[in-house]
Structure 1
Amino acid sequence: MISLAPVTLEGHGVRLEPLATAHVDPLAAAAADGRLWELWFTSVPEPAQTAAYVAQALDGQAAGHMLPWAVRDLGTDTIVGTTRYHDIVPNIDRVEIGWTWYASRAQRTHVNTACKLLLLTHAFDTLGCAVVGLRTDNFNFASQRAIAALGAHKDGVIRHHWPRRDGTVRDSVMFSILRGEWPDVKRHLASRLARHAE
């Protein structure tokens, strides 16, 4: 059975730092790069809601069903976003990766691939997960493409599944990576990062 505790993960030009209240202002600044909260189908908080967003993530960590990080780009030594494990089910060795967003300047760079490689490596190689899930809004087509590009399997769509910030209800597109698929996914992500470095 997996056991989760806050941990710093670093490599490939990024550091995942255990989320803390000290990250509130840097995350608000990251979200302002692209005014990400205006994307109605994402979970990015408005600046005034960032403290509550972080508090909610830390409450989830205390309750045992979330493990959140702030994402630092080591090249610029700035916080560029956040991600977390969520919907953790220890007795079946399952976590999901989500609540992920990055400042506009960090999108379509090495950052997402590096973060996913760190998170998946920790999940499968350190925690011993049997499966890692990922989900996104049915209207977040960029996120769906990014998840599929990792090598994740599309499991299906759960309709009328989760409330959006604007009060509407989304359909969730569900993906997963099984432990047996991890070696090929790991090789694929390492290859993508090598191409970024060229």
Structure 2
Amino acid sequence: MLNQPTLSHNGVTLEPLTLSHTNELMAACQDGELWKKTTTSVPTPTTVADYINKATNMTDRVAFVVIDERTGKAIGSTSYHDILSQAKRLEVGYTWYAKSYWRSHINTTCKLMLLTHAFETLEYLTVGWRTDIENTQSQQAIERIGAKKDGIIRGIRVRRNGVVTDTVMYSMSKDEWFEHKIKLIEKLAKYEK
């Protein structure tokens, strides 16, 4: 299991997810009624505590809460998961933010911190992502980071509405990281203007 750091950059902090974040995450998931999107893993307002308990008790997941440093409030969550320490591979996912933070610097900042930590501190060789085949918004965001589409795994996930669906897999190697790191930093600079 990985140690869980606190990461901070560009007005965003990622810290270990705990039950103390329950009330703020209840408010965050209500910003846009995110749990109604069947292609995501966002909890309902009444299941946030269960979501946190499950996330923090998984042996191959390191869950973070996303804090907006301007307000000091929790605005979402993200995780390392499917951690394969021998292969030096992990995935980034279970990511969601209050809707009012979409199209802001938040996601780019979080990905920059998580990828920098994974590749440069932990010295992992591969970072992966997965998303529902119908979640084109997430697919586009993953592609903007610079991840390569590895393929589609058919019939691997059951949505909360009971529908069995396909998953699109992406990855980035450590060799590709530095080129994409520069692009992420340049993208963040545009938000600052």
TM-score bucket of the superposed structures, by smaller chain? over 0.9
| Unpaired stretches in structure 2, ≥5 consecutive residues | none
User: Equivalent residue for 2:154?
Assistant: 159
User: Equivalent residue for 2:2?
Assistant: 4
User: Equivalent residue for 2:63?
Assistant: 68
Q: TM-score, normalised by structure 1?
A: 0.95
Q: How many residues end up aligned between the 2 structures?
A: 193
Root-mean-square deviation (CA), in Å?
0.8
- Residues 128-182 of structure 1 deviation map (CA, whole Å, 9 limit, x = unaligned): 0000001111111100000000011011110101121122122111100000000
Please give the alpha-carbon distance, in whole angstroms, between the structure 2 residues aligned to 1:38 and 1:14.
Answer: 26
Q: Does 1:111 align with 2:106?
A: yes
Choose from 158, 165, 189 the match for 2:184.
189
User: Equivalent residue for 2:22?
Assistant: 24
Q: Secondary structure at the match of 2:40?
A: coil
Please give the alpha-carbon distance, in whole angstroms, between the structure 1 residues aligned to 2:162 and 2:54.
Answer: 18
Choose from 45, 48, 52 the match for 2:46.
48
| Unpaired stretches in structure 1, ≥5 consecutive residues | none
Q: Does 1:133 align with 2:131?
A: no
- Which residue identity does 2:37 align to in structure 1? L
User: Equivalent residue for 1:99?
Assistant: 94
- Which residue identity does 2:104 align to in structure 1? T
Q: TM-score, normalised by structure 2?
A: 0.98
Q: Does 1:79 align with 2:77?
A: no
Please give the alpha-carbon distance, in whole angstroms, between the structure 2 residues aligned to 1:148 and 1:128.
Answer: 22
- Residues 95-141 of structure 1 deviation map (CA, whole Å, 9 limit, x = unaligned): 10000000011110000000000000000000000000011111111
Q: Secondary structure at the match of 1:92?
A: coil
Q: Secondary structure at the match of 1:91?
A: coil
Q: Secondary structure at the match of 2:39?
A: coil
Work out the percentage of aligned pairs sharing the same amino acid: 45
Please give the alpha-carbon distance, in whole angstroms, between the structure 2 residues aligned to 1:155 and 1:79.
Answer: 32
